[in-house]
Structure 1
Amino acid sequence: MPDVFDRIEWNVRKIFGGEPVCVHVGSVEECDIKRHPTYPKLRSEAIAAGVRSASSSRLWESMITMGRLSDLDGSDKWRMVILDCIVPCFRALSTRVSRDFQVEREEIRSAMVTTALEVWCDTATGVPPRHVRDRMVKAAFEVAFQRGRIGSPEYLTDDVDMFFESKVSAQESALKASSVIDLACIRDADVAEQIRGERLGALLQGMGCFDSVRGFHEDLRSGRRSGCVGRAVSDSRLSRSRISDPSLYYYASDLYPSFIGLREAAAVMGIAESAAHRLVRAGEFPFPVARAGRSYKVSVKALMHFKEIPDVIVHIDDMENGALHAGGGARPV
């Protein structure tokens, strides 16, 4: 009968299939490194690196970083990858503890996974990525022996299901809360939505960069680009009758590249690049930073969250009307 370890492995393999996997920036198309392994090969390399020394492994550092970025985006995909690459070293121990202490093996395994996930949450800040994997393993080993000695059903598989099903951590809640502009004084949701789009369009027009936005809009209208538009369209609240096409919503972050260099991110944050490097190495950078080869890549969405820049949902019509108004043109009737 499948246990929690088997379910983790099946879940992750179902996500990735046989396609190449990018552990640097999460997207094979956007990564500067052109050679990417399939998931089974990546998993095999991660397991071997973890046995040798996870704290000195760039692969594990990248995987932990992708897990943190995935958490910020409301996804548990990479968190499950990390668990899947850790649980092989849990299997033998859980079997031994179950045999020696006469405790159900499934209970031991559920306790180990639950504890590893708790450590994952506890090390979200202040702990360098290179140390996270070893802390998860150490805590899981300790709870396995504790569970064996106590011999009581303190941990159940239902506890693990709670982690799988819960998509919103404290960080994710803050991210989603920051994506809504405070327009509480406006009772009409349609009007508030329109103002959000017009404000952003006027801002970009004032910065002199709306020509690039028009190119993005042309790609959306022609179907050459989709981006995250599907997520916006799926929001049932977006159903205004006065818009040209309900499929032309998108997130503000879709206008920007997914990742930028550490130098550009440091400039936005108002710190020196050397200081940014020191913070990354010490594990004290305020949000996760991906590593691709010898360079660091900063998630624009994570940077927006740090700077409290709302990742609002907007519509093409509102953006263009706001830009037109800011440019001194007449608003179309």
Structure 2
Amino acid sequence: MMPDVFDQIEWNVREIFGEDPICVHVGNVKECDIKRHYAYSKFRAEAIASGVRSAPSSRLWESLIAMGRLCDLKGGDTWRLVILDCIVPCFRSLSSRISRDFQVERDEIRSGMVEAALEVWADTVMGVPPCSVRDRMVKAAFESAFRRGNASSPETLTGDAEVIFSSEVADQDSALRAASIIDVNGIRDAAVAEQIRGERFGALLQGLDCFDSVRGFHDELRNGRRSGSISQAVKTSGLPRSGISNPNLYYYASDLYPSFIGLREAAGVIGIAESAAHRLIRAGQFPFPVARVGRSYRVSVRALMHFKDIPDTIVHVDDIENGAFHANGGVR
């Protein structure tokens, strides 16, 4: 017998996390200021209980929704699966009951419930407070189950389908363009364009007088002490020079920045007051998701770059250092 969609979600999430500690605040246990993290099984039990009891006022669920949105921005689905895995336990008994009473395939009902929940997830990116997203997903799933049951029989179940519980960085690209008469977008040779982009970025870092700190980052790459997005960058980008340059020395420009910054700093980049940012977050109208860490909020730098249309360029150590070398008058 093939596993149903509920079981598949549960197994996939357990395969991802195993029994390692899970961080729902910033997604990385080592980078999180809160040092109390549980294995996934304990975290899931707490999330399920908190969702049934008080999802609209739960900080844990606010953080869960934020991590799901941030993961979406990166093109992943891990945290969306976690959210589903923490919701579907309350779907199981209802789906079995409707399947039995209306003689409808249980797998069909469960697949429809997950589909309805994901549709709500996609429709509530903006304009819906994060604390309300979980309950809306559950309500839509319940309604989907009842619709499928009613469609197969003239009978109706007693009750309703209602839920049972109720700018410095922003100027970077233009500054680089102004420093050169060459339009990178007009260069047909992708390898040359890649090299020029890296050298311009290196020149900018030297001009901002912050290249010394970048040297330490490059030393970590060369000595193999750093990994992560570097190998992923080469794998996904098809960089033309990776065959002749050490692929482990490629990295994303955002790797030079902290993963998260405070809400006050992020609000300043956007051009609004911190108090206004708090109001927008509570109303579900902040332009991108933020992470909840205890009583405060942290903002993903990559999400901020995405909002400001700042490309997260893939660069190579050699190009960055060559650009800084020339900008410094040939002095290393």
**TM norm structure 1:** 0.87
Report the secondary structure of 1:286's partner residue.
coil
**Separation of aligned partners in 1, 2:243 and 2:117:** 50
Task: Give secondary structure in 1 for the equivalent of 2:186.
Answer: coil
- Distance verdict in 2 for CA 1:300–1:119, change over 3 Å: same
Alpha-carbon offset, residue 247 of structure 1: 2.0
Q: Does 1:320 align with 2:321?
A: yes
2: CA distance between counterparts of 1:240 and 1:183? 16
Q: For each residue in 1:82-103, what CA deviation from the matched residue of structure 2 results, as whole angstroms up to 9, or x when unmatched? A: 0000000100110111111111
Is the Cα–Cα contact under 8 Å of residues 26 and 66 in structure 1 kept in the other structure?
yes
Q: Residue type matched to 1:224 in 2?
A: R
Is 1:123 the counterpart of 2:144? The answer is no
Mapping 1:227-238, distance limit 5 Å: 227-235=228-236, 237-238=238-239
List per-residue Cα deviations over 1:257-301 (Å, max 9, x = no partner). Answer: 111111111121121111111211221110001011111100000
State the one-letter code of the partner of 2:308: K
1:144 corresponds to: 145
SS of residue paired to 1:308:
coil
1:260 is matched with: 261
| Native 8 Å contact 2:184 2:196 kept in 1 | no
Per-residue CA deviation, residues 72-126 of structure 1 (Å, 9 max, x unaligned), is 1111000000000000010011011111111111100000001101110011111
Residue in 2 aligned with 1:173? Answer: none
| One-letter amino acid of the structure 1 residue matched with residue 142 of structure 2 | F
Shift of 1:246: 2.8
- The alpha-carbon deviation at position 243 of structure 1 amounts to 5.6
Q: How far apart are the structure 2 equivalents of 1:304 and 1:61?
A: 22
User: 8 Å contact 2:130–2:282 — kept in the other structure?
Assistant: no
Q: Secondary structure at the match of 2:298?
A: strand
Distance, in Å, in 2 between the alignment partners of 1:94 and 1:17 is 28
What is the deviation of 1:238?
2.2
3-state SS in 1 of match to 2:266: helix
* Partner AA of 2:43 in structure 1: L
Q: 1:107 to 1:294 in 2, by over 3 A?
A: same
Q: Is the 8 A contact 1:238 1:246 kept in 2?
A: no
- Structure 1 residue 49 displacement after superposition: 0.8
**Alpha-carbon contact 2:199-2:319 (below 8 Å) kept:** yes
> What's the secondary structure of 2:261's corresponding residue?
strand
Moved over 4 A (4+): 241-244
* 8 Å Cα contact 1:108/1:144 also seen in 2: yes
SS in 1 for 2:185: coil
Contact map agreement 1:239 1:246 (CA 8 A) in 2? no
Distance in 1 (alpha carbons) for counterparts of 2:127 and 2:114: 22
Q: Deviations over 1:183-239 (max 9, x none)?
A: 431110001111111121111111111111111101111112123111123246224
Q: Percent identity?
A: 76
Secondary structure of the corresponding residue to residue 291 of structure 2: strand
Matches within 5 A, 1:300-315: 300-315=301-316
SS of the equivalent of 2:21 reads: coil
How far does residue 242 in structure 1 lie from its aligned partner after superposition? 9.0
Amino acid at match of 1:70: C
Cα contact 2:98–2:146 (8 A) shared by 1: yes
Aligned to 1:287: 288
Partner of 2:204 in structure 1? 203
Distance 2:243 2:63 in 1: 45
Distance (whole Å) between structure 2 residues aligned to residue 61 and residue 250 of structure 1: 31
Trace 1:9-28 onto structure 2 (pairs within 5 A).
9-28=10-29
Q: Distance in 1 between matches of 2:34 and 2:189?
A: 48
Q: Secondary structure at the match of 2:30?
A: coil
| Alignment partners' CA distance in 2, 1:82 and 1:64 | 7
CA contact (8 A) 1:54 1:60 kept: yes
* 1:31 alignment counterpart: 32
Partner of 1:296: helix, strand, or coil?
strand
1:104 corresponds to which residue? 105
Residues 241, 59 of structure 1: alpha-carbon distance in 2 compared, 3 angstrom cutoff: closer
Contact persistence 2:234–2:242 (CA under 8 A): no
Opposite residue 136 of structure 2, the aligned amino acid is R
Residue number in structure 1 paired with 2:170: none
1:330 Cα deviation after fit: 7.1
Letter in 1 for 2:99: S
Cross-structure match for 1:89: 90
The Cα RMSD (Å) is 1.8
